[in-house]
């Protein structure tokens, strides 16, 4: 397991709004990276995995578009096509 304090913090977009990632946690090859994020609006601290966050727009770096978060698909109940 590795923990890295991000300095400077990275501005990110989360399912709960914009915030800054301050810590990165890596449990190893079999796990997603975990990002510890403090939200701008509420100051709440949340932990997200890679699939849940995006880097914020940054025109200087040429990142003018941030993809939207996708809603996970509902589990199949085997009733499709009935």
pLDDT digits (tens, 9 = 90+) for 28-71: 999 999 999 999 999 999 999 999 998 887 777 776 767 766 65
32 lies in a domain?
yes
68 lies in a domain?
no
What pLDDT is stored for residue 11 in this prediction? 95
69 lies in a domain?
no
**Going by DSSP bridges, is the β-strand pair 2-14/54-55 parallel, antiparallel, or unpaired?**
antiparallel
Contact in structure between 79 and 25 (CB atoms under 8 Å): no
Please state the domain count of the chain. Answer: 1
19 lies in a domain?
yes
How many whole angstroms separate alpha carbon 63 and alpha carbon 6?
20
Contact in structure between 2 and 45 (CB atoms under 8 Å): no
17 lies in a domain?
yes
What is the domain extent for residue 49? 2-61
47 lies in a domain?
yes
Which residue in 44, 58, 70, 62 sits closest to 12, CA to CA? 58
């Amino acid at each position: 397991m590795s923990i890295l304090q991000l300095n400077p913090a990275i501005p990110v977009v989360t399912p709960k709004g914009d915030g800054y990632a301050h810590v990165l946690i890596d449990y190893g090859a079999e796990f997603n990276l975990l990002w510890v994020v403090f939200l701008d609006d509420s100051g709440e601290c949340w932990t997200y995995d890679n699939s849940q966050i995006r880097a914020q727009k940054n025109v200087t770096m040429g990142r003018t578009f941030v993809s939207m978060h996708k809603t996970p698909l509902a589990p199949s109940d085997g009733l499709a096509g009935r």
